[in-house]
Amino acid sequence: MSSEVFKENQGAVDGLGGVSNRERFRQALRCQNTGRPPLWLMRQAGRVLPEYRALKEKYSFVEMVRTPELATEVTLQPIERFGFDAAILFSDILVISEAMGQKYGFREQGGIEMEFTVDGAAEIDRLNEKGVADRLDYVGKTLPMIRSALGDQTGLIGFSGAPWTLANYMMEGGSAKEFLKAKDLYYSEPKLFERLMGKLTVAVTEYLQMQIDAGVDALQIFDTQGGCLAAGDFMAASGRWIGEVIAGLKNAPPVIVFAKGVNSDWKGLASTGASVLSVDWTVDLAALRSELPQGVGIQGNLDPYLLRTTPEIVAREAGRLMESLNGFGGHVFNLGHGVTPECKLECIESLVDTVRN
């Protein structure tokens, strides 16, 4: 689809009251009254969409990530179909590890596989944290293409994995039933742990700065392994480094932090500098609202499983969730985790209709 045709189609999905989807999204990130919460979904671009599956028959996932025209097309697919208020860059958190010298791929039986395992000082020293933006220039080329296609109608989100989550995949050598090696390094060799996390923090900061310079409206930091840490260790092992990333950004837009399973230290998470905290589906949003500092928004948190049920159930539960926040202006509607391949298109359509109406 050409950018001109895409922009023409977007006119039908503009927000209520003359406010564009993009502006509604930006207002919610600043905790301003938006009339209704803006809506986007983690993993909204991908295997649930037949148009994505058609592309996947021709190209591998990595090919699509590395090809700006394809990454742009995949990013725009859910916007074209559902008219979400924001698009999120189609990419992978492990492009950072690849840019540092540790390539990633996918196992035939499923799951991520890294080229080698970072399991000691030699491998940590081998990682090159400087110049990652240059080595990820395909992302730098993709973002302006997406921004141009979205125009002023739809928000654009850039993202990265958190240093802690990246360290877990890099040290395990890919997907694992249990992520233990990064925890072992944190407890047993704190100086070496700090060396690794320092390198990752530099790389993530440079990568996100590139996305800021390309004109994104928001950034999301994914810390999907944050919940494997004991409550008392999260801030030292992960939150500290997220805070250093955010502090190191210049002219940054609002930053959303998603630390899956970290549900006990909201003030600590907010102290990272996050503008919005994205939370999993086990959290009571109304109760959370009362715990957060003024000016910090909430993103979430419908159970992704519900998108496998019926449109009626989705409408009921989405309505209940919105009512629980009673018009709180700093709410960005999302799932408590990502869209799965088993989700039904008619359930996503029901969610969109419910949030909009």
Q: Is residue 13 part of a domain?
A: no
pLDDT band at 327 (very low <50, low <70, confident <90, very high): confident
pTM (predicted TM-score): 0.94
Using an 8 Å Cβ cutoff, are 337 and 42 in contact?
Answer: yes
Share of the chain above pLDDT 70, in %: 95
pLDDT given for residue 336 in this prediction = 97
Q: Is residue 5 part of a domain?
A: no
Using an 8 Å Cβ cutoff, are 86 and 217 in contact?
Answer: yes
pLDDT in tens, 328-350: 899 999 999 999 999 999 999 99
- Token digits of residue 85: 């208020």
pLDDT given for residue 7 in this prediction = 56
pLDDT in tens, 102-140: 999 888 677 899 999 999 999 999 999 999 999 999 999
- What is the domain extent for residue 337? 21-356
CATH number of the domain bearing residue 189: 3.20.20.210
pLDDT given for residue 18 in this prediction = 80
Q: Is residue 63 part of a domain?
A: yes
Residue 11 reports pLDDT greater than 70 = no
Q: Is residue 313 part of a domain?
A: yes
Residue 157: strand pairing partners: 88, 218
Q: For the chain, how many structural domains are there in total?
A: 1
pLDDT in tens, 13-65: 444 558 999 999 999 999 998 889 999 999 999 999 999 999 999 999 999 99
Q: Which residues contact 46 (CB under 8 A, 6 or more apart)?
A: 52, 74, 90, 339, 341
- Mean pLDDT of all residues in 282-299: 94
SS3 assignment for the chain: CCHHHHHHHHHHHCCHHHCCHHHHHHHHHCCCCCCCCCECCCCCCCCCCHHHHHHHCCCCHHHHHHCHHHHHHHHHHHHHHHCCCEEECCCCCCHHHHHCCCCEEECCCCCEEECCCCCCHHHHHHCCCCCHHHHCHHHHHHHHHHHHHHCCCCEEEEEEECHHHHHHHHHHCECCCCCCHHHHHHHHCHHHHHHHHHHHHHHHHHHHHHHHHCCCCEEEEECCCHHHCCHHHHHHHHHHHHHHHHHCCCCCCCEEEECCCCCCCHHHHHCCCCCEEECCCCCCHHHHHHHCCCCCEEEEEECHHHHHCCHHHHHHHHHHHHHHHCCCCCEEEEECCCCCCCCCHHHHHHHHHHHHC
- Mean pLDDT of all residues in 263-287: 95
CA distances from 244 to 175, 223, 258 (A): 26, 14, 16
- Mean pLDDT of all residues in 191-207: 98
